[in-house]
Structure formats: C-alpha cells, structure tokens
Amino acid sequence: METIRKYLETMFMSLPDTDAARRAKEEIMSMTEDKYNELIESGMSENEAVGKIITEFGTIDDLKDSLGAIEKGTVRRPDESFKPNETFTHGVQGIPNPPVEVKQVTYRGGKSQNRELRLISVDEANAFLDDCTFSRFLLGLGVACCIIAPTGPIMGSAISENFYGFFGDFFSALGVVFLFIAVALGVGLIILSSAKNKEWSFLRRGVSILDSVAEEYIRNEKADNISSKSTMLAMGIVLCVCSVIPVIFFGIFSIFPFLSEGVGPALIFVITGAGVFFIINSSRITDACDRLLGLNA
Amino acid sequence: MQQISSDVIRGYNDTIILFLLRKEPSYGYEISKNIRAMSEDKYLIKETTLYSAFTRLEKNGFIISFSREADNGKRRTYYQITDSGQKYYQEKCEEWQLTKDVIERFISQ
C-alpha cells in the first residue's frame, strides 16, 4: 500500500496544490485502498496487487481537465432545495460540499521548492546500479593492487638469494619495478572508480526521487543481494584472518628459506589483497540500492 | 481481445454512473466494481476517469456527495443522485436510443 501511496503522491505532484487537487487525491486514494484491500483478500500477493492497480490506473491528464474546469468555471452549489432521502440522512455530514476555493497556485517540488523534481525510472535506476557496481569493482581491484605491490620486492629478494652477481641484482630490481607498477595501476583504478561515480552526482543534490515502479524494483534487487553480500563479506574476513597461515606454516616447517622468507610473507599480501577486494565488493549492490532508496526517504 | 475504446464510451460514463446511483447512494470503489460486474469484465473504468465524472456530475448538480462512515469504520465519500440527475439520466437514455438507432444503420456484419 505504501508503494501505491508514493505512486499517487508522485502523480499528483504535477498538479497545482489546490483544495480541488487535494480532494481528488484523497478520494482516489480511498478508491485505490478499497481495491487493494479486496485484491489482497482475494488471495493476491502484495506485488501482484500493486502491479494490477498501477496498470489499471488512469493518467493524471484525465483529471487535469475536470480540476481545471472547477478552478476556472463558476462553481455552482448543488441544488439547494434537494434533500437527501430520509433513509440516508443518518450520519450524513456536511452536505453539499462547499464551493472550491481557488488558491494561489504553488507547485510542490518535494524537497526543493524552486528546482524541478527529477523522477528516476527503472532503466535509470538500473544504469545507476550497474555503474555503482562497476565502480566498486574498480575500487576493490585498485586497493587490492596496492596491497599486493610489496610482494614484488619480497619475492625479488627471495629469488635473488639463489643467484649471485647480475641475476641476483636483476631479480631484486624486477621486484621493485613490480612494486611501482602495481601501485600505479592501483591508484589509476581508484581514480577511475571515483570518476565513474561523478556522472551520478546529481543524485546528491536531493532533487531526484524514484518512481514507484523503480522503488519496488530496487527493493527487490536489494533483498536478492543481501545473502550474497554476507557470503562475500564473510569470505573476505576469513581470507584476511587466514593470510598469516602460510607464513606460520612455512616458519614451523622451514624446508627452504625461499618458502619461509619469500613465498610465506608474499602470500600475506596476496591473500589480504583478495580479502579486502571481497570486503569492498560485498556491499556493492546493496549500498547502491540504499542510496537510491534514500532519495525517497 | 477487442477492447472498449475510451473515446467512444466517454460520453456515457455519466449515464452508467447515474444508473448505478439510481438505486442507492454509493462510493467510488463500489461503483467501479459494479460497472465491472454489470459489464461482465468488459469495461474497467479507471479511477481517474471515475473521479473526473464525479466532479463533473456534481458541478452540474446531478449528484451530491457526502461523507459517511462505513461498517468497518472507514470514512468514505458517498454520492447520491439528485432530481435533476434523474432527469438528465432519462435524457441520456433517450439520446442513446437515438444514437444506437442511427449508428446501427451503418453497421454491417
């Protein structure tokens, strides 16, 4: 029912805020509520009922004519001499309705008075979700690259232990080169990720709201992703905690110094990097959904 | 399935509503439900169309509205036909007979 209420609110935003419009909204809301209750009683699911009501709903243009007519035309009181039937005088209140007062037209802009309200459709919401997800993915990858970067020098020096002279220096240098390349790549990805988000900065200005269909869609999308969010988060945390296992393992069973001093420590960074990647990405869809839903709050 | 054209039926929404109100006062959803039932699901009137019709009819003095509490405690706007509404309904019925008579001459199966 809340969805329908929002839908109607949105529909009526394009109408001037007059008594007539307010009465129309109340009356249509009441009809819709009756219909909704009956559909639910007939065993229809909430989503089906909302869908049915919205598809069967007329357009606001149907109302513009009659509301406009009331404001422009002279409003005549219904026949004063008319008396309601005896049987129906019981409980009758305030008949007939008083003439409609014409008020100064003020457009309701919702959160902002003068700026135009921007309605976000399902397609737009979906595009936002895609962009947010991708941006989060890039951010995760960028951070992971930065974390993995130190493995270069570690592995480089571990390998160079096994060589002398030129090859030893070569591997050490290669490790350092890897460090810089990985950091550069990581920073690049992080910058790219925030650039991707800039396109949607208008959302932050607080003049946009979701249309009701989009809101319903986003709500479902969020619900669908909650379980995968916790799985990814748990996996990320487990990876971070377990990152020290290889180094402990190689430390206890020190077979080669190459393993205990090179592979072990390097794996800390690799596994932590993967863990952080998962943690950052776990909430990529739900956070985007929350941001969209927050617009209507 | 062939759907009823809203352009064609528009001129007779008033007649349909007045017909239903002749028996007893009623409220929005009940009227739309009765229209649906009587037309055997062939005509679903939209809420916005129905409300426009109410305001138009009321403006012309064919119906009056009043607020009444239903059994479940919900307050609803009820609509009741007036004497001039009854007269208007008769006129519309005659108009329809004429319209039907004319149009049918041009319909071939």
Domain spans of chain B, in order of start: 6-104
Using an 8 Å CB-CB cutoff, list chain A residues near B56: 66, 69
How many whole angstroms separate alpha carbon A292 and alpha carbon B92?
A: 51
A88 touches chain B (CB under 8 A): yes
Partner-chain contact B46 A96, CB within 8 Å: no
How many whole angstroms separate alpha carbon A284 and alpha carbon B48?
A: 40
Give the residue with greater pLDDT, A80 vs B21. B21
User: Could you tell me the pLDDT band of residue B41, with boundaries at 50, 70 and 90?
Assistant: confident
How many whole angstroms separate alpha carbon A42 and alpha carbon A232?
A: 40
**pLDDT of the residue at A217:** 84
* Cβ B79 vs Cβ B20: under 8 Å: no
Query: What fold, for B6-104?
Result: Arc Repressor Mutant, subunit A (1.10.10)
Residue B33 clears pLDDT 60, i.e. is over it: yes
Omega before A96 cis (within 30°)?
A: yes
B32 touches chain A (CB under 8 A): yes
Using an 8 Å CB-CB cutoff, list chain B residues near A88: 24-25, 78, 80
Q: Give the ipTM.
A: 0.82
The partner residue sitting opposite A27, judged by closest CB among B68, B74, B77, is B77
| Least confident range of A136-145, A205-214, B5-14, B54-63 | A205-214
**Residue A90: which residues within 8 A CB-CB, separation 6 or more?**
none
The partner residue sitting opposite B29, judged by closest CB among A31, A60, A97, is A31
How many whole angstroms separate alpha carbon B54 and alpha carbon B13?
A: 10
Amino acid occupying residue A177: V
Percent of chain B clearing pLDDT 90 (strictly above): 48
Partner-chain contact A27 B54, CB within 8 Å: yes
Please give the average pLDDT of every successive group of 10 residues along chain A, which has 297 residues: 82 79 85 89 87 80 66 41 40 42 40 55 83 91 93 87 80 90 94 84 71 82 89 93 88 79 88 94 88 79
Using an 8 Å CB-CB cutoff, list chain A residues near B50: 31
A28 touches chain B (CB under 8 A): yes
Residue B42 clears pLDDT 60, i.e. is over it: yes
Strands B26-27 and B63-69, sheet pairing: unpaired
**pTM of the predicted model, to two decimals?**
0.47
A59 touches chain B (CB under 8 A): yes
- The vertex-A215 CA angle with A209 and A219, nearest 5°, equals 135
- Surface-to-core class of residue A193, CB atoms within 10 Å of its CB (0-12 exposed, 13-18 middle, 19+ buried): buried
Using an 8 Å CB-CB cutoff, list chain A residues near B76: 30
Residue B68 clears pLDDT 90, i.e. is over it: no
